[in-house]
Structure 1
Amino acid sequence: MIKVLIVDDEPKLRQGLQTLIPWESLGFTVAATAANGAEALTVVEDTAPDLALVDIRMPVMDGLQLIERLTSAGHSMQFIILSGYADFEYAKQAIQFGVAGYLLKPVNTSELTAGLMRVRERIEENRSKLDHRRLEAAEREWALNRLLDPRKSAEDPAALKRLALEAELSWNRYEVVVIQPQVPEAERSDAPSRLSVALKPVVEGRGRGIVAVRPPYAIVLLREPLRGRQQREELYREIRNAAGDVRFVAATGGAVSGPEEVGASYSGAQEAIKRAFFSEKERLLEPNSPPYFPPNSPLDSSPDSPRLPEDNAQEAMEELVFRLHYSLDVGNRSMILPLLNEAAALFLKQGQDEKGIKESFFILTNAVIHKLTAGSRQGLKNTEAASRFLNGIYHQAHLHDLLEEIHRFLLSLAEDSGPGGKEQDLKKMIDFIHRHYADNLRLETLAGLLNYSSAYLGQLFKNKTGEYFNTYLDRVRIRKAKELLSKGMKVYEAAERVGYTNVNYFYSKFKKYEGRSPSDYKNP
């Protein structure tokens, strides 16, 4: 049945048209009525009619305004205009909108019936053409999915050429573009189809190629390769406009010369998509693109000269945790981002993939958070926010987004650094030693974090405390060990608790500063 909408501000006319015309016997059904153009706009969205009988003169929004709004919005329905004699010339303006006809009031049922028959033929013809186009499109999408399969290319290239010819895909050149919507899991099954529909007018409507869906991707097969950066940027903008608010990554597999090579272009685009985490944002990715680092970024240079031990991943991680913890603990905000960049450079140099890097940053930041919570004079204020942050690490689409988010969160944990200067730095350093004496503290590391040379900081420290750094640290550790031993702790346990992994070394240090062994102290 062909659905009809009657739009007229006269209730009697609306009712009369519904009862006087044998709609069903003519192949029509009255789906809805409306009293003016504004009301009709809402009805159209709900009922999707095929034909509208529209009065010219109506309050709020007249018939011509309604037709103009609907045609400009892309609705493909047919229109028959109803007008009074005085509006006959005015009604002719509707010809530019492609109306199927117009009738004078009072409506002659025979004339309207004849007009409806003509409209029905037009609608049925359009439906037939649309069904044919849809069938052709389905066949071409099926053919494209065959071409995209690299295994088919290897099996029988000649068969793929015949398939492309039959599906009207036999072109001189090809280029595959893959778009992956980045949406929540619940939307992943529908997102590629929605994007595909939005892209069809841009691609197929302009004769540039065809669009298909191959979950989790929307696929564009171009018949003319993209030439140069400008064309790639233009296509990316068109994809972004079609995607609306949906985030996505898009990649080209490069131009190929035959249908049997389309699968290779598709594979290249897939590989580029997999490397999107390491690539530049907001651009069409390309095969074999190296990882992107902004100019003058620490990431751009640090991979060639890492400051962390590469041969021992555990040692490198502990070193990173220590540096970040110390910088946050003393309020040295300027060191956080360089340390995160250094960590990323090390993980890249170790050959970690996206999953590995996210896991490494999860371990790193989780350890820093726990150390801050355990050693801070004020506990972690918002454990829920920390949980959200840690979980969010796995949802970051780009390495640079991940680093920015970690940087932002860690800065929110940093204590205010207070007034600067050497005196303040030394106070922070001494305070840190008394709270973290059991850690693997080294003057060289602390100097780097405070932006001093180790020799200069060592001299400042001696001037302030009267002792060298290592001597001061040993005295703090031995003093704490004495407390533990007096409470009955075993010697090896006390040694480990205060930061000595070698018991014999602990014995020698204890005897040096106390004049007797820890065993003697434990059992006076």
Structure 2
Amino acid sequence: MYKVIVADDEPTIRQGLLKIVDWEALGFHVVGDVSNGIKTVALHQELSPELIVIDIRMPRMDGLQAIREIRKTDGDCQFLILSGYADFAYAKQAIEMNVSGYVLKPIDQEELTQELLRIRAKLDQQSGRAKWSEFHADALREELILKLITAESADAPELESELAPLTSFAGTTKQILLVEAEDFTQAGPGYLESVKLRWLEAAEMEGLGYGFLTGPYTGFLLKEDLNRQGVKSKWTRLLHDACEPGQGFTAAAGPIVYDLGDIRRSYEGALGLLKDRFLLDEGRIHMETERVMNHGVAETKGHAPPDLEALATKLFFMLDLGRCEGVAETLREAGGALAAYDSTEIAIKTGIAQVLSVALSKLAAAHSSINIQDYAPLLAELYQHTHYDKLMNAAHTQLAELAERLGKDGSQPVVKQVMDFIQRHYHENLKLEAMAEMYNYNKGYLGRMFKQHTGESFHTYLDKVRIQQAIRFLREGYKVYEVSERVGYPNVDYFHSKFKKYVGASPSSIKGAPPKVKTVSLET
């Protein structure tokens, strides 16, 4: 709708014009009616109408004077003159002031309608040219930005001089933001393209930046850098609002630069961050100054390969003990070790899946109530996640539930829990240091507590449990080397020495009823 002001000193004519013309049907909306030229000029300054229907003969300031005054600041407003005088002198002056039409009083409704339709067509044509001009500027600006972010340094000054008139910034800083839309739930064909367009339209509407498309990314040359107060939160909200529920995005911003010719450096910084997009959190804007990843994932490369077997065993122990906090910490440790060695998405996913698979297999072997097949969907799901934090959250959620179920005896004193753990895992490579870490205790403190409660050191207690189990296996007919392996002594000679120390005889001498152990009972 085009805005219209009606100006005539006769109230009956003004009211009649408002009633006899279907302004809305003709594409116009009357925003005011006034009685003289002075009020016409004032209302024009306030409302900026596209058309003024104005009488020539009015008190204080006539119509021609009002038009002349308005033309000093507005060359586009259309004027339709009303007059009861068929005077060529008035028409000549009106033509000189570029009015759109001249209608004689008494007003013929059909003639007035035809004049309004002609003016409407002229306004539509002007509006189309303005839109085309604006579109041309937008297209040219996007083309220049795309050229500048890939240009050689020698070509940058010329491109910068062409781009500068098409941009404006809140300060001296410039920065590139790159965003990748993600479709987590397969929203349907066209979703990714539609969300890109919504981002571009929203950024233009809110005046936050100049958009461009490059590969899978929607890019923005920001009018204000993200370090300014409130700017980052505005962009985060804008990106979230354009996404459908359940969908997301990954976003990264390059370093701040001060010349348009340097925006390639900002673009490359953002692109560098997105190469490690798996390690970036979904749904937030990452800055190049935040290059150290979260979740304990180090950026340094060149570390030794992680000991996945040891990590799996530790996770198994934490699950078996029902230590939810320990499960979370072990997962973080595993993720950090894997990323420090090889931060690629497939390497981290494969490593985490291996740690979980080994730990769950050990747990299923130790607990008849646990079926490893129940966790096959979890292991398969790990490969579907597109972000590290989502993968780890999924793993932690299920494993924490499992640990909570197995940790029903967690209210028992720590020493009692350690004793029970030794009874179940005597065949493992158990160490006091590892037990202390699992319970978040100092090694020396836990050792003293254990000895005060049992009368034995941790290692002595472990040896006794192993020897008791060895006697049972020997009575069942297992060979000495088999028993040695089964109770946690890979070296048979070492097993012989331990057995003789506690039993007073060699393992091969065990026949019939088991001999008495020389040391005190393990009962507490």
1:368 paired residue among 338, 355, 359: 359
Q: Is the 8 A contact 1:358 1:394 kept in 2?
A: no
Distance 1:508 1:89, change over 3 A: farther
Q: Is the 8 A contact 1:236 1:283 kept in 2?
A: yes
Aligned: 1:325 with 2:316: yes
Q: CA shift at 1:505, angstroms? A: 1.4
Aligned to 2:287: 286
Aligned: 1:213 with 2:187: no
Give the distance between the partners of 1:274 and 1:195, measured in 2 at CA.
21
Secondary structure of residue in 2 paired with 1:204 = helix
Q: Is the 8 A contact 1:161 1:170 kept in 2?
A: no
What residue ranges of structure 2 are gaps of 5+ in the alignment? 2-15, 33-48, 52-108, 513-524
Give the distance between the partners of 2:428 and 2:130, measured in 1 at CA.
77
Distance 1:454 1:145, change over 3 A: closer
Distance 1:361 1:242, change over 3 A: same
Q: What is the TM-score of this pair, normalised by structure 2?
A: 0.63
What are the within-5 Å matches in structure 2 for residues 305-344 of structure 1?
313-314=306-307, 317-344=308-335
Secondary structure of residue in 2 paired with 1:153 = coil
Give the distance between the partners of 2:113 and 2:222, measured in 1 at CA.
48
Q: CA shift at 1:268, angstroms? A: 1.0
Distance 1:522 1:351, change over 3 A: farther
Q: CA shift at 1:506, angstroms? A: 2.1
**AA aligned opposite 2:366:** G
Which has the larger share of helix? 1
What are the within-5 Å matches in structure 2 for residues 367-446 of structure 1?
367-380=358-371, 383=374, 386-388=376-378, 391-392=381-382, 395=385, 397=387, 399=389, 401-414=390-403, 415=405, 417-418=407-408, 424-446=413-435
What residue ranges of structure 1 are gaps of 5+ in the alignment? 1-66, 68-84, 101-107, 304-309
Secondary structure of residue in 1 paired with 2:269 = helix
Give the distance between the partners of 1:497 and 1:468, measured in 2 at CA.
22
Aligned to 1:56: none
- Greater CA radius of gyration, 1 or 2? 2
1:95-123 deviation line (CA, Å, top 9, x unaligned): 469999xxxxxxx9999999988877766
Give the distance between the partners of 1:140 and 1:216, measured in 2 at CA.
20
1:175-224 deviation line (CA, Å, top 9, x unaligned): 21111223249679955532332233443346654211112110112355
Distance 1:153 1:387, change over 3 A: same
Q: CA shift at 1:266, angstroms? A: 0.5
Q: CA shift at 1:465, angstroms? A: 5.5
Give the root-mean-square deviation of aligned CA atoms. 4.8
Secondary structure of residue in 1 paired with 2:256 = strand
**AA aligned opposite 1:379:** I
Give the distance between the partners of 2:312 and 2:281, measured in 1 at CA.
28
Give the distance between the partners of 2:189 and 2:159, measured in 1 at CA.
28
Q: Is the 8 A contact 1:192 1:218 kept in 2?
A: no
**AA aligned opposite 2:359:** V
**AA aligned opposite 2:148:** L
Aligned to 1:497: 486
Q: Which has the higher mean CA deviation after the structures are superposed, 369-378 or 465-474?
A: 465-474
Aligned: 1:469 with 2:458: yes
Aligned length: 418
What are the within-5 Å matches in structure 2 for residues 444-463 of structure 1?
444-455=433-444, 457-458=446-447, 461=450
Q: Is the 8 A contact 1:330 1:417 kept in 2?
A: yes
**AA aligned opposite 1:395:** H
Q: Is the 8 A contact 1:180 1:192 kept in 2?
A: no
Secondary structure of residue in 1 paired with 2:142 = helix
Give the distance between the partners of 1:154 and 1:514, measured in 2 at CA.
82
Q: Which has the higher mean CA deviation after the structures are superposed, 465-474 or 497-506?
A: 465-474
Distance 1:351 1:228, change over 3 A: farther
Give the distance between the partners of 1:424 and 1:482, measured in 2 at CA.
29
Secondary structure of residue in 1 paired with 2:287 = coil
Q: Is the 8 A contact 1:273 1:285 kept in 2?
A: no
Q: Is the 8 A contact 1:193 1:213 kept in 2?
A: no
Give the distance between the partners of 1:517 and 1:320, measured in 2 at CA.
36
Distance 1:429 1:173, change over 3 A: closer
What are the within-5 Å matches in structure 2 for residues 65-84 of structure 1?
none
Distance 1:232 1:486, change over 3 A: same
Aligned to 1:153: 152
Secondary structure of residue in 2 paired with 1:254 = coil
Q: CA shift at 1:327, angstroms? A: 2.8
**AA aligned opposite 1:284:** I
What are the within-5 Å matches in structure 2 for residues 40-439 of structure 1?
88=19, 95=30, 130=131, 133-134=134-135, 136-149=137-150, 152-154=151-153, 156-158=155-157, 160-161=159-160, 164=163, 168=166, 174-184=174-184, 190=190, 193-205=193-205, 209-223=209-223, 225-226=225-226, 228-245=228-245, 246-274=247-275, 283-291=284-292, 313-314=306-307, 317-344=308-335, 346-347=337-338, 352=343, 356-380=347-371, 383=374, 386-388=376-378, 391-392=381-382, 395=385, 397=387, 399=389, 401-414=390-403, 415=405, 417-418=407-408, 424-439=413-428
Q: CA shift at 1:413, angstroms? A: 0.3
Q: CA shift at 1:500, angstroms? A: 1.8
Q: Is the 8 A contact 1:440 1:499 kept in 2?
A: yes
Aligned to 2:522: none
